[in-house]
Structure 1
Amino acid sequence: MKKLIFALVVNCTALMQAQNTVSGRITDTNNKSLQGVSIFIQELQKGTLSDANGNYSLTNLPNGNVSISFALMGYGTQNKTIVNAQRQNRLDVQLEPTIFQMDEIIVSTAFNKLQSQNVMKVEHQTIKNLTQKGTATLIEGLATIPGVAQVSTGVSIGKPVIRGLSSNRVLVYSQGVRVENQQFGDEHGLGLNDAGIESVEVIKGPASLLYGSDALGGVLYFNPEKFANANSFKVNFSQKLFVNTLGSNSSLGLKTSTDKWKFLARGTLNTHSDYKTAGRERVTNTRYQEKDFKSGIGYSDAFFSSVLRYNYNDLKLGIPEEGTAAQSTSKSVLYPKQAVSNHLISLNSTVFFNTSKLDLDLGFISNGRSEYEDSDVAILKMKLNTFNYNAKYYLPSSNKIQTIVGVQGMYQTNVNLGEELLIPDAITKDFGVFGTTNYEWGTNVIQAGLRFDTRNITSEAHGIQLHGGSFAALDTSYTSWNASLGYKTNINEAFVFRLNVASGFRAPNLAELTSNGVHEGTNRYEVGNADLETEQNFQTDLNLEYKTDHLEFFVNGFYNHITDFIYINPTGQSIDDNEVFNYIQNNANLYGGEVGLHFHPHPLDWLHLETSFETVTGKKQNGDYLPLIPANNWNNTLRFELNDSNWLKESFATISLSSTFNQNKVSGFETRTGGYSLLNLGLGGTLHFGRTKVEVNLNGNNITNKKYIAHLSRLKADGISNIGRNIVLGLNFNL
């Protein structure tokens, strides 16, 4: 018996100490060693760099299949899979030169493939690329992506619009979990700061199969900052200065990793004065102050990987009501003002089995929203707490077939603590179950999935019924079946074809079900409808891509049919001089797309020409236009890549012209908007001082100081112009 126990202890100890490792050499097509290649394992959040001889090594790999990406600027990204990882694994890789952007692993879709391998077309942008455009906020940067726009209130508040759909029809994910912050309201933004975010992925179309209700219009999926490479320590400081708003954005971060453990932390302070229009007048109380803190700790070995992250965001912003009445450069927010805070905690874990794995994402979001009229006593104070979970089991796969089954859910409570109520105290419960399969043969891929969801909403009665500000008790449930089917093929080496059809759904939100009062900033008395049905849509997407060494061309087209689309409609009555609107439903259609060209003429290797056009039209079944549809837009950019010197690397200069067309296709209570063109300039590069690198960006936006009003600006009704000329200087120190 003692011998048996001793043998078991020895075997278990050997098993715990055994490490799966991978090593190899990375070369170009001429067998020349490549230094500085980024080698990254997404499911472990772990990476390293190749050395001067192109060699690399990673330890503590999980059992089973392991996917590893290899990326280097100027070369095509490759995603390799080690099948049934052994104790010692050898993987040599040869990268091919490319002049276009690096291919990226897409995290927001089911199987985490390179975009070139993905069935669905997903827009991927790094925050670094968006920052180089000189935008003041994260949402401004997102609005430069074809197919994405924003409903804005000055520069401090912006709500994303994807192909004409916004509010609760667009879902936001950060740190792998769903972000909930009263999306029905136009009076506050995303609640996220771009510091500590690596990149964003945009799904333009129904994504209810993976994300449930509210992903009917699309998903914004923010990937957090990566941890440091194994056995390294990094410090980063960035500073941005904004001339127009006299703004400052300062961020300090540090991170370190061992073979198994990793840690990071980042703090950011962002302050701005009132923005200045082209007429050189400041728009009173568009100033804001933001504090943001992000941290994370992770652990991974051959059997288990887990990352715990925390994000705190505190935003104090003015609510503009006086136009340009008071001219001030102060950054102290005036009354009326708003304070919004978000606490986001996420735990992303993976358990590895021999031939399969289990992903579990847990999230808790606490959103606080307070509004102050003329004193420090909040007249509106709301607390929204949300717990959500997402479990996905990856079945044992072959070279051709991959399958995922999963469950997803949410438990949410809304509590009012102030004198004024927009929506009642309520509890929302979600539960969904889904499955999806990916089948590949040759250059062809088919992906299909099916999902069932249920949502239950209960709310408390408040006030005297049939009087303003009162709410009747609510107890209602919604169910929905949804499916998706996608096909991708490489017609030849240069030509890719994608076709996707998918359904999505959205349950009515509390504002649509229960509203009974004047909606802020609109002078509309809105009346909810407890009998509203679930919105259901069916969208067809077509994507064509053509890519050679010096030319890249794409066409995206979509047709989106929505059954029981919810919108507000005037009744012809008025209460206290406010016109009464109620929520009704009708079928609607949206259609349009994006087209783009990237030309890199040979032998002018330093020149890039990029152009893109986007359009969307939204109509109700009766032929009337839908509200909040962005105008057509045409963007043109010339990018010059300058010669590197010993101290200046990756330098560039850009000239871009963004032309927005007239928007005459408006709903009954919208006004038409004239077109305009904005000229932007950019200059940047990386300065090398020994081991210290300083990235420098200088941008001039709206350089001609054009006076214009965007169609989706909430200040349009008061005739207030958007921001005028803005010079932005950005410095990023990597120590």
Structure 2
Amino acid sequence: MKSIILSFLFIASIHNLFAQNGSLTGRVKSGDSDVENITVKIVGLNKSAKTDPSGNYQINQLPIGKHTIIFSGLGYQSKKAVLALSDSPAILNVELLESESNLNDVVITGVNRATQLRKSPVPIAVMSKKAMDQNMNTNLIDAIVKGVPGVSAVTTGPNVSKPFIRGLGYNRVLTLYDGVRQEGQQWGDEHGIEVDEYGISRAEVVKGPASLTYGSDALAGVINMIPYSPNFDDGNLKGDFTTNYQSNNGMLGASFGLAYHKNDWKYTVRATGKTAHNYYNKIDGLVYGTAFREYNLSASARLDKKWGFSKTAITYYDNLMEIPDGSRDSLTRKFTKQISDAADDIKNRPIVPDDQLKSYSINPLHQHIQHYRLYNTSQFKFRNSDLNVLLGAQQSVRREYNHPTAPNQAGLYVVLNTLNYDFKYNLPDFSGIESTLGINGMLQGNRSKDATDFPIPDYNLFDIGAFYFAKKSMGKIDVSGGIRLDRRKMQWSDFYVGTNQQTGFGEQAQASNPLANLQFPAFKKNYYGLSGSIGLTYNVSERLLIKANIARGYRAPNITEIGSNGLDPGAHIVYLGNRGFKPEFNLQQDIGLIAYLKDAELSLELFNNSIQNYIYQSRLTDANGNPVVIVPGNLTYQYQQSKARLYGAEISINLHPSNVKWLSVNNSLSYVVGLNKNEELLKKHGADAKYLPFIPPLQIRSEIKATAQQNIGVFDKPYLRIDGAFYADQNRFYALDETETFTKGYSLFNIGIGSTLKTKNGKVLFDVLAQVDNIFNTAYQSNLNRLKYFEYYSESPNGRSGIYNMGRNISVKIIVPIN
């Protein structure tokens, strides 16, 4: 590693420029406001700068003569200027217009350096904090699902949503926090992301293989959650107090954040708390085991200098979340609770009292998840290039308490430690080619503590990958692509499990114990992956783009897929892995058409994804077709591997009539089909094995939004929005051994209203947003809702099986600025 870093520094040190004798300074504004982080680039010279918080910029050592200068930045229309430089300092001030289209948005995810959306051939979607606020939900991923076509989520209650992109999820979707890959036992069904939703100012979603930049686990795409960074005048203290209430589960949320900018330093700090009781729907009533309580703390400090910047940040996440199991009284269908361990009789459990169903207290059967993150990201600028370094350390602590007779004894207790490293060197432009060399990966160790269940062994993992990425603009065509090589080493020693003679529970044992069972024999293996991509964007005109991309992705099997052999208490599933699995590889083709017209934005994205060695879960049955029960009251799943194919489309039609400025109509359609290509399985089981699990059905979203074009009293341009989500029947599901069942289609309607309140002199008082989800209190089950399958009886008095999704929910959010 040391030699690699020295090589980067050596490469950076050998680039020199001939003496220059001109300079350019100026200021960038939009209306009456200065604009920070606008890129000012001299075309053909590989010279650029960014504006500071006062909108000022400066570029030195420029040759005398005529130059073309381009000003571009997030949320603003690009502007081009031509200027003749002499040996005297030149001044060029410009004013930028806000962009109605996101085509000129600058993205940082899945590219080698900040890139305009229009120039990236890979499908990337951006969601702003404003859009996330207006798509209020109980967690950040559900808000992204509402706003980005092609993104769905497997849910376990209201506080756990695992993102899926175009039908692929789990370790195939890489989640990032400020560019740092999120590592927190994400293999589990009920393991959500560990991020403070109130502290996120922007989300960028890459749809398709992003293994080139990130390595394994980005086979389906990337979701990068970018925290707030201050952007205001020097010496000011700003912040916000946000409070949120939701009626269905009584959720109360509060978040307090401050940011301070002084000279070259920027500081942020935020504290958040959320709590909720069980959620409600009209079929099940209050769903026992879905309450949660969450706390978050974060802080950062950033130093900006001429040589670059350095940012250090720390975050802490703490979540107490109940574990639902869906057990009920067979006649009344009221929820029951487990009160014993060895003598537990599911059919004779006591009914949960009404006062416990609406209590904010967390019941004894719950999960306690803690996540600590410390990282530094820095950029070192050289004359014509820059080196970006990211180093991070994180720890995930997960306890799952599943013993009612010993409530302080964790069933699952695992501690995951991860060290992340990422080095990217942006080389000087050569013949108009922008290129990047990079090396990144992680060192990881997982250890079980005082637990009774051991679904995975203690393991060590080392990940390293190197890549080269380049892009070039040639008139109307933007081309980009690259290649990457990865190596992942996975190993563990013999892991023995025995029985504690005093408690009767399982425990980790020594090999010398004659009663010990070798649950995880020693394992050691290296996985290698070659990935790459090539794509282009053809700018037919400023408002019409055609994009095409082909990419090969790579993913090494995760720990549960190759090593699992035990009960995960929180999921109520016994997992069985396969040590012989090979890495997954996929080849995906994307083609897209984007049109930004005077009165509308249109986009069409088509994709075809072929996967080798696709890994998926399937219920285990015996020779007679009966479910295998290893731990009573829990399902048993065994991982399978085969070929697979996914294909589909996303269509967006967003109307904003120029002669009716107050009106916008946004529509999207998402469609994906997942086919199991295991020929042997298909011959034996036919249609039951034809499709892949966890594939979302056809869905259409439509929104009508009216926004006032002027203030109405103290209300600053209030808006009213009505939207509907329409889900088709999902009759293309993995039916083998009843792993999945048919899911009936449904329609949900929502309404929202909001505004900023200002005084007569223009001072902002606060923002208020209100929203009603599922207006008509529709009873429905999403095919991606895991609780749908929490059922212990083959028949029920009301003909309903499993647990239904949340009913009507009224949300109110107030954001009070602090100046």
Question: What is the TM-score of this pair, normalised by structure 2?
Answer: 0.81
Counterpart in the other structure of 1:513:
562
Distance in 1 of aligned mates of 2:192 and 2:555? 21
Counterpart in the other structure of 1:53:
none
CA contact (8 A) 1:635 1:659 kept: yes
Q: 1:277 aligns with which of 270, 277, 281?
A: 281
CA contact (8 A) 1:411 1:428 kept: yes
* Deviation (angstroms), 1:269: 0.7
CA contact (8 A) 2:456 2:566 kept: no
Partner SS state of residue 274, structure 1? coil
Report the CA distance shift for 1:88/1:214 in structure 2 as closer, same or farther (over 3 A): farther
Partner SS state of residue 296, structure 1? strand
* Deviation (angstroms), 1:379: 2.2
* Deviation (angstroms), 1:572: 3.5
Alignment pair present for 1:699 and 2:771: yes
Distance in 1 of aligned mates of 2:571 and 2:313? 38
Supply the AA of the counterpart residue of 1:430. D
Counterpart in the other structure of 2:204:
201
Alignment pair present for 1:497 and 2:546: yes
Partner SS state of residue 216, structure 1? coil
Report the CA distance shift for 1:615/1:264 in structure 2 as closer, same or farther (over 3 A): same
* Deviation (angstroms), 1:100: 4.3
After superposition, the C-alpha distances for 1:39-82 in whole angstroms (9 at most, x for unaligned) are 215899986667xxxxx42579999999964466xx63669999
* Deviation (angstroms), 1:435: 0.4
Counterpart in the other structure of 1:613:
669
Counterpart in the other structure of 2:186:
183
Alignment pair present for 1:173 and 2:173: no
CA contact (8 A) 2:190 2:571 kept: no
* Deviation (angstroms), 1:580: 5.6
Report the CA distance shift for 1:568/1:140 in structure 2 as closer, same or farther (over 3 A): closer
Distance in 2 of aligned mates of 1:581 and 1:366? 28
Partner SS state of residue 77, structure 2? coil
CA contact (8 A) 2:28 2:56 kept: no
Report the CA distance shift for 1:96/1:443 in structure 2 as closer, same or farther (over 3 A): farther
Counterpart in the other structure of 1:30:
none
CA contact (8 A) 2:457 2:495 kept: yes
Distance in 2 of aligned mates of 1:321 and 1:83? 72
Counterpart in the other structure of 1:95:
96
Supply the AA of the counterpart residue of 2:255. S
Distance in 2 of aligned mates of 1:37 and 1:660? 45
CA contact (8 A) 1:46 1:229 kept: no
Alignment pair present for 1:350 and 2:379: yes
Counterpart in the other structure of 1:679:
749
Across the aligned residues of Structure 1 and Structure 2, the Cα RMSD in angstroms comes to 3.0
Distance in 1 of aligned mates of 2:81 and 2:317? 37
* Deviation (angstroms), 1:155: 0.1
Supply the AA of the counterpart residue of 2:459. A
Counterpart in the other structure of 1:159:
162
Report the CA distance shift for 1:389/1:569 in structure 2 as closer, same or farther (over 3 A): same
Distance in 2 of aligned mates of 1:508 and 1:176? 23
Counterpart in the other structure of 2:56:
57
* Deviation (angstroms), 1:95: 3.3
Q: How does 1:515-664 map to 2 (within 5 A)?
A: 515-520=564-569, 525-569=574-618, 572-573=621-622, 574-576=628-630, 581-621=637-677, 622=679, 624-645=690-711, 647-664=714-731
* Deviation (angstroms), 1:584: 2.9
My pick for the range that moved more, 593-602 or 476-485, is: 593-602
After superposition, the C-alpha distances for 1:292-316 in whole angstroms (9 at most, x for unaligned) are 0111001011113100011111000
Alignment pair present for 1:36 and 2:6: no
Supply the AA of the counterpart residue of 1:710. S
Distance in 1 of aligned mates of 2:231 and 2:293? 30
CA contact (8 A) 1:41 1:67 kept: no
Alignment pair present for 1:454 and 2:487: yes
* Deviation (angstroms), 1:447: 0.6
After superposition, the C-alpha distances for 1:317-347 in whole angstroms (9 at most, x for unaligned) are 0011246523332111112100001111120
Partner SS state of residue 561, structure 2? helix
Supply the AA of the counterpart residue of 1:658. A
Counterpart in the other structure of 1:17:
none
CA contact (8 A) 1:47 1:229 kept: no
* Deviation (angstroms), 1:582: 3.3
Distance in 2 of aligned mates of 1:298 and 1:204? 30
* Deviation (angstroms), 1:659: 0.5
Distance in 2 of aligned mates of 1:47 and 1:194? 29
Counterpart in the other structure of 1:311:
315
Q: How does 1:96-111 map to 2 (within 5 A)?
A: 96=97, 99-100=100-101, 103-108=104-109, 109-111=111-113
Q: 2:297 aligns with which of 285, 293, 302?
A: 293
* Deviation (angstroms), 1:721: 1.0
Distance in 2 of aligned mates of 1:478 and 1:720? 40
Report the CA distance shift for 1:224/1:378 in structure 2 as closer, same or farther (over 3 A): same
Partner SS state of residue 143, structure 1? helix
Partner SS state of residue 107, structure 2? coil
After superposition, the C-alpha distances for 1:120-165 in whole angstroms (9 at most, x for unaligned) are 2201001321221221211211211211111101101111111111
Counterpart in the other structure of 1:31:
none
Any gaps of 5 or more consecutive residues in structure 2?
1-22, 41-47, 328-333, 336-351, 498-510, 623-627, 683-689, 792-801
My pick for the range that moved more, 517-526 or 362-371, is: 517-526
Q: How many aligned residue pairs are there?
A: 704
Counterpart in the other structure of 2:444:
412
* Deviation (angstroms), 1:223: 1.1
Alignment pair present for 1:721 and 2:804: yes
Report the CA distance shift for 1:262/1:456 in structure 2 as closer, same or farther (over 3 A): same
Counterpart in the other structure of 1:7:
none
Report the CA distance shift for 1:246/1:21 in structure 2 as closer, same or farther (over 3 A): farther
Distance in 1 of aligned mates of 2:559 and 2:212? 23
